[in-house]
């Protein structure tokens, strides 16, 4: 490896070293606060090293990795989510029954897995990145191991994720058998001249999609989502909803673009069906949820459906809109889970919708931030969610995919109902409660709240002035 390779991969190298550094801090008996500050500093350092001046950006590190501007963009999103989750974790884990030490180590490894996925251009790095991400998540989900729900969620995720990895591997093996190459570029060379996809290749691609579908929790592979979201600690739920989705989505985009699969109508139809099913089922199942974590789980299924819609046209514009949508989804999701984490006490998570009854009258700041996040997820104008959805709709309508556009609008209309239900709960009458213990306001609480508030403000700013981000994303996809 040449020096420029090292410079280029510096963010990932820092993440890998960070896990070792955290281990050393644990051995030196550092306090929770020390570990927290070290972790935050390392996340910031990785973020700072992301855009190297010395190396012009499409830089391949053959044969496994390719760092280009899209990869840097997704890694930036992953590091942002990782950093926010890291800060939330202090608030959440301080005073919990489990020492939070290994937690930060696994958090770094999880982000590393997502980062590897974002820049991989080879089946080997695809699989290894995905497994680093998933194996770190198994332990993170079951981290509070004395709680039955956490163990249940951990086991569920373990069994289903291992099963889906087996599907993924089998799909990769079938594709390799057909084309005899495992790098994305090499595979595309082998099938480019084919008039239609060879059957073995199509079978492999289908199995690969099943595996990826499980990780993205799109319908019909969504069964685990609600239980795992509910059982996992709140920061980890935020991590599943952001880092793992962004990483897997990025590698799927890379694979599909390299193979030019979408020019084959059968493949585009398959993705379109997954998208339609996810949008409809996710939104309908979310309607009657009384638990806000489950509600967000079903909402994330629907959002992944919206993002898959962006795959179908296969134009540059559709991938631009998908990237924008990913940003708006990650911002809104982090904000929502941030507020839920802030509202939770040491022994109980405030996950029921009725815990938020009349929150506006007691804690107006938190309620306003949660409202902004819900509005953005629902796609109300003046938020980033609206711009993202509008952009996506435009990208779908330009090549005349009317049915998909109709489902997208229908799904958003159904979704409005449950997002607004959360908001009406927040602004509803304040319940008469017997001595509710008020949460202590620490300096970390204020720090977290201001960070989440900044994310909420960013959501609105992107809703009003989306052009800088759109210009930036265009720049990514032109090159």
Q: Which residues bind another protein (CB under 8 A)?
A: 1, 16, 19, 61, 63-65, 102, 105-106, 109-110, 112-113, 116, 124-125, 128-129, 131-132, 135-136, 138-140, 142-143, 145, 154, 177, 180
Cβ contact 446:40 at 8 Å: no
Minimum CB separation of residue 182 from another protein in Å reads: 11
CA 143 to chain centre: 20
Q: Which two tokens stand for residue 256?
A: 């599909």
Give the CA count within 13 Å in the CB-facing half-sphere of 36.
18
Distance CA 350, CA 119 (A): 37
Minimum CB separation of residue 136 from another protein in Å reads: 4
Distance CA 102, CA 59 (A): 34
Minimum CB separation of residue 180 from another protein in Å reads: 4
Minimum CB separation of residue 78 from another protein in Å reads: 16
Q: Which is nearer to another protein, 106 or 276 (CB)?
A: 106
Q: Which long-range contacts (CB under 8 A, 24 or more apart) does 284-291 make?
A: 284/414, 285/226, 286/415, 286/418, 287/414, 287/417, 287/418, 289/353, 289/418, 290/352, 290/353, 290/354, 291/230, 291/351, 291/352, 291/353
Minimum CB separation of residue 102 from another protein in Å reads: 5
Q: Which is nearer to another protein, 124 or 447 (CB)?
A: 124
Distance CA 126, CA 168 (A): 10
Q: Which is nearer to another protein, 154 or 379 (CB)?
A: 154
- Exposure b/e, 275-287, CB count within 10 A at least 16 = b: bbbbbbbbbebbe
Q: Which is nearer to another protein, 106 or 285 (CB)?
A: 106
Q: Which is nearer to another protein, 15 or 476 (CB)?
A: 15
Q: Which is nearer to another protein, 157 or 298 (CB)?
A: 157
Residues in CB range of 120: below 8 A, 6 or more apart: 64, 65, 66, 126, 129, 251, 254
Q: Which two tokens stand for residue 226?
A: 């609600």
Minimum CB separation of residue 114 from another protein in Å reads: 13
Q: Which is nearer to another protein, 152 or 460 (CB)?
A: 152
Minimum CB separation of residue 24 from another protein in Å reads: 13
Q: Which is nearer to another protein, 177 or 413 (CB)?
A: 177
Cβ contact 88:234 at 8 Å: yes
Minimum CB separation of residue 138 from another protein in Å reads: 6
For every residue of 291-306, DSSP letters joined together read: BHHHHHHHHHHHHHHH
Cβ contact 58:66 at 8 Å: yes
Neighbours of 99 (CB within 10 A): 11
Minimum CB separation of residue 457 from another protein in Å reads: 35
Q: Which is nearer to another protein, 17 or 40 (CB)?
A: 17
In 32-122, which residue ranges form alpha helices assigned H by DSSP? 32-48, 69-93, 101-118
Give the CA count within 13 Å in the CB-facing half-sphere of 440.
8
Distances (CA, A) of 26 to 30, 31, 157, 479: 6, 8, 28, 43
Cβ contact 304:433 at 8 Å: no
Minimum CB separation of residue 412 from another protein in Å reads: 38
Q: Which is nearer to another protein, 171 or 379 (CB)?
A: 171
């Amino acid at each position: 490896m040449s020096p420029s390779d090292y410079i280029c991969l510096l963010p990932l190298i820092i993440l890998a070293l960070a896990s070792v550094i955290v281990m050393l801090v644990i051995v030196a008996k550092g306090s929770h606060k020390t570990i927290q500050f070290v972790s935050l500093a390392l996340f910031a350092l990785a973020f700072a090293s992301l855009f190297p001046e010395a190396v012009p950006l499409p830089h391949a590190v053959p044969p496994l990795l390719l760092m280009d501007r899209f990869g840097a963009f997704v890694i930036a999103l992953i590091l942002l989510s990782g950093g926010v989750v890291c800060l939330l974790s202090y608030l959440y884990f301080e005073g919990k029954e489990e020492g939070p030490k290994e937690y930060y180590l696994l958090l770094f490894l999880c982000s590393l897995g997502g980062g590897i996925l974002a820049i991989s251009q080879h089946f080997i790095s695809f699989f290894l990145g995905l497994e680093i991400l998933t194996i770190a998540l198994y332990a993170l989900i079951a981290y509070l191991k004395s709680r039955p729900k956490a163990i249940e969620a951990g086991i569920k995720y373990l069994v289903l994720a291992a099963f889906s990895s087996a599907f993924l591997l089998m799909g990769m093996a079938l594709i390799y058998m057909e084309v005899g190459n495992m790098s994305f570029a090499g595979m595309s060379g082998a099938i480019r001249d084919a008039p239609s996809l060879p059957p073995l290749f199509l079978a492999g691609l289908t199995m690969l999609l099943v595996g990826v579908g499980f990780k993205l929790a799109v319908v019909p592979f969504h069964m685990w989502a609600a239980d795992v979201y509910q059982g996992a600690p709140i920061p980890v739920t935020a991590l599943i909803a952001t880092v793992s989705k962004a990483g897997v989505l990025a590698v799927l985009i890379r694979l599909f673009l390299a193979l030019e699969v979408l020019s084959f109508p059968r493949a585009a139809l398959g993705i379109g069906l997954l998208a339609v099913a996810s949008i409809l089922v996710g939104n309908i199942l979310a309607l009657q949820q009384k638990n806000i974590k489950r509600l967000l789980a079903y909402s994330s299924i629907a959002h992944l459906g919206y993002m898959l819609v962006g795959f179908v046209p296969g134009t540059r514009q559709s991938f631009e809109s998908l990237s924008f949508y990913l940003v708006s989804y990650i911002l809104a999701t982090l904000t929502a889970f941030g507020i839920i984490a802030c509202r939770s006490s040491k022994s109980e998570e405030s996950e029921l919708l009725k815990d938020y009854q009349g929150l506006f009258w007691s804690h107006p700041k938190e309620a306003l931030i949660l409202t902004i996040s819900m509005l953005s997820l629902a796609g109300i104008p003046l938020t980033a969610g609206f711009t993202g959805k509008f952009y996506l709709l435009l990208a779908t309508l330009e090549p005349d995919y009317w049915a998909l556009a109709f489902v997208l609008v229908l799904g958003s209309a159904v979704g409005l109902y449950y997002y607004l239900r959360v908001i009406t709960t927040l602004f509803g009458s304040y319940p008469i409660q017997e001595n509710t213990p008020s949460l202590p306001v620490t300096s970390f609480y204020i720090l977290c709240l201001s960070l989440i508030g900044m994310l909420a403000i960013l959501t609105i700013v992107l809703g009003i002035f989306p052009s800088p981000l759109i210009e930036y994303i265009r720049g990514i996809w032109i090159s």
